[in-house]
């Protein structure tokens, strides 16, 4: 089968991005939102009307708004397939289970798409390209699964099957816990003197970056997934208590840092493969337009691919340290190449 008309209930970033992606591929789309302004914007952006009957209804509302639309959407589109896109899944299954929409007609899904905050105006049709898109297909009718799978593949998502409970545990660990820990850490900065903040380095910046996230978005995600989060927070609490009680014991402190190193090594590197061992090449650059361009130009000339990079700026003066993550060979090649060109290249480290 081929999707001809998809109805998207919720015109935020995710809903509208799905609409844009489908429209680009010639699928008819109806955008719906309680907020008339959002709906109008999404309709204008997506602009792919259809008179065909609806094949697939996507719930792209906040979790809290789901209950209010389930029955009416099912009644109006009784032959359609249904799916959602919310970041917590067990709670959604409970909501659907207590509505008129049969669970066999509904596929719980979660696209792990890069969050660019902000409604229909931030939507892009390629938001899901190459990103994992989790589905829980247990007990779902084959035609519903086929429609949803077709949609995910059309949008370039990478299908990952996890049951809802496991999904919620996984995102609690790799996404929700880091959010809370970063927020709790950044909260502690409130107690420091302003002049201390001038001493902040890349470590503090990195650990607190996601503490800048939107409280309105996260309050719902955290509370909806509290069942999976609770044991993780309690394990953290227990580890923290133990650290506090053994803060003068060098071996106990080293054990915490070592356990952290091991945990960190579990995170896979680029392209979903195993964690790669990069070699890091530090280069001091002048902080003005054109320096990064020249540097990357040299990388291209040397035929070296930059795997990742970090920029650290010196306070009070206009030089900066850029650290490139490279393969070992790449680092050696680039280091020689840049030195010949007069760049201020430091010793690579792995």
Q: Residue 37 Cβ, how far from its own copies at the closest point, in Å?
A: 17
- In angstroms, the CA 224 to CA 283 distance is 45
Q: Residue 70 Cβ, how far from its own copies at the closest point, in Å?
A: 21
Q: Residue 97 Cβ, how far from its own copies at the closest point, in Å?
A: 20
Query: Which one of residues 65, 103, 112, 285 is an interface residue with its own copies (CB under 8 A)?
Result: 112
φ/ψ region of 89 (left if φ > 0, alpha if ψ in -120 to 50, else beta) reads alpha
List, in sequence order, every beta strand (DSSP E) within the chain.
5-9, 28-32, 56-59, 81-84, 106-107, 109-111, 132-135, 158-161, 279-286, 308-313, 319-326, 344-345
Which single residue is written with the structure tokens 């190449």? 337
Query: Which one of residues 100, 276, 313, 339 is an interface residue with its own copies (CB under 8 A)?
Result: 313
- In angstroms, the CA 77 to CA 79 distance is 6
Question: What is the per-residue binding string for its own copies in 143-162, x denoting contact by CB under 8 A?
Answer: ---------------x-x-x
Q: Please give the residues from 257 up to 296 whose contact with its own copies meets the rule CB under 8 A.
A: 257-268, 270-272, 280, 282, 284, 287-290, 292-296
Residue 223 interacts with its own copies (CB under 8 A): yes or no: yes
Q: Please give the residues from 184 up to 203 whose contact with its own copies meets the rule CB under 8 A.
A: 184-203
Q: Which stretch binds its own copies (CB under 8 A): 68-76, 78-86, 88-96, 217-225?
A: 217-225
- In angstroms, the CA 97 to CA 108 distance is 12
User: Is the CB of 138 or the CB of 196 nearer to its own copies?
Assistant: 196
Q: Residue 112 Cβ, how far from its own copies at the closest point, in Å?
A: 6
Per-residue tokens: 189: 């900065």
Query: Which one of residues 233, 332, 337, 343 is an interface residue with its own copies (CB under 8 A)?
Result: 233
Query: Which one of residues 1, 2, 36, 215 is an interface residue with its own copies (CB under 8 A)?
Result: 215
Residue 342 interacts with its own copies (CB under 8 A): yes or no: no
Q: Which stretch binds its own copies (CB under 8 A): 21-29, 54-62, 85-93, 316-324?
A: 316-324
Query: Which one of residues 52, 94, 146, 241 is an interface residue with its own copies (CB under 8 A)?
Result: 241
132-135 and 279-286: which strand pairing? Answer: unpaired
User: Is the CB of 143 or the CB of 249 nearer to its own copies?
Assistant: 249
Query: Which one of residues 62, 145, 220, 333 is an interface residue with its own copies (CB under 8 A)?
Result: 220
Q: How many CB atoms neighbour CB 193 within 10 A?
A: 7
Q: Residue 79 Cβ, how far from its own copies at the closest point, in Å?
A: 33
Q: Which helix (H) or strand (E) holds 103?
A: none
Query: Which one of residues 300, 328, 336, 341 is an interface residue with its own copies (CB under 8 A)?
Result: 300
Q: Please give the residues from 159 up to 178 whose contact with its own copies meets the rule CB under 8 A.
A: 160, 162, 166, 169-171, 173-175, 177-178
CA distances from 62 to 20, 37, 112, 313 (A): 19, 17, 16, 39
Q: Which helix (H) or strand (E) holds 88?
A: none
CA distances from 152 to 8, 11, 114, 135 (A): 14, 18, 16, 10
Q: Please give the residues from 74 up to 103 whose contact with its own copies meets the rule CB under 8 A.
A: none
CA distances from 52 to 3, 7, 45, 79, 107 (A): 10, 11, 20, 13, 22
User: Is the CB of 305 or the CB of 328 nearer to its own copies?
Assistant: 305
- In angstroms, the CA 208 to CA 181 distance is 9
Helical ranges in 133-214 per DSSP H: 142-154, 164-171, 177-188, 202-208
Residue 4 interacts with its own copies (CB under 8 A): yes or no: no
């Amino acid at each position: 089968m081929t999707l001809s008309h998809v109805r998207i209930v919720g015109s935020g970033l995710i809903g509208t991005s799905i609409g844009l992606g489908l429209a680009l591929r010639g699928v008819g789309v109806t955008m719906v939102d309680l907020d008339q302004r959002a709906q109008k914007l999404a309709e204008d952006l997506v602009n792919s009307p259809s008179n065909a009957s609806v094949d697939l209804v996507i719930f792209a509302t906040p979790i809290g708004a789901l209950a209010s639309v389930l029955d009416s959407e099912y009644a109006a589109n009784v032959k359609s397939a249904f799916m959602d896109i919310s970041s917590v899944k067990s709670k959604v299954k409970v909501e659907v289970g207590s509505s008129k929409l049969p669970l066999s007609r509904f596929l719980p899904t979660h696209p792990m798409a890069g969050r660019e905050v902000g409604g229909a105006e931030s939507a892009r049709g390629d938001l899901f390209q190459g990103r994992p898109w989790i589905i829980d297909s247990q007990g779902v009718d084959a035609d519903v699964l086929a429609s949803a799978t077709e949609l995910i593949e059309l949008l370039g998502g990478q299908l990952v099957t996890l049951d809802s409970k496991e999904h919620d545990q996984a995102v609690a660990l790799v996404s929700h816990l880091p959010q809370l820990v970063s927020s709790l850490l950044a909260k502690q900065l409130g107690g420091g003197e302003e002049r201390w903040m001038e001493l902040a380095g890349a470590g503090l910046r990195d650990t607190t970056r996601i503490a800048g996230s939107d409280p309105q978005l996260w309050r719902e995600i955290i509370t909806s997934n509290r069942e999976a989060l609770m044991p993780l927070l309690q394990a953290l609490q227990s580890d923290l208590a133990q650290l506090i009680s053994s803060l003068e014991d060098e071996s106990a402190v080293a054990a915490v840092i070592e356990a952290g190193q091991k945990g960190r090594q579990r995170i896979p590197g680029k392209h979903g493969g195993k964690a790669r061992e990069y070699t890091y090449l530090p280069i001091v650059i002048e902080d003005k337009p054109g320096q990064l361009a020249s540097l990357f130009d040299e990388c291209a000339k040397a035929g070296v691919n930059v795997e990742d990079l970090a920029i650290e700026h010196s306070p009070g003066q206009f030089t900066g340290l850029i650290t490139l993550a490279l393969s070992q060979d790449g680092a050696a090649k680039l280091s020689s190449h840049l030195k010949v060109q007069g760049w201020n290249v430091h010793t690579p480290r792995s």
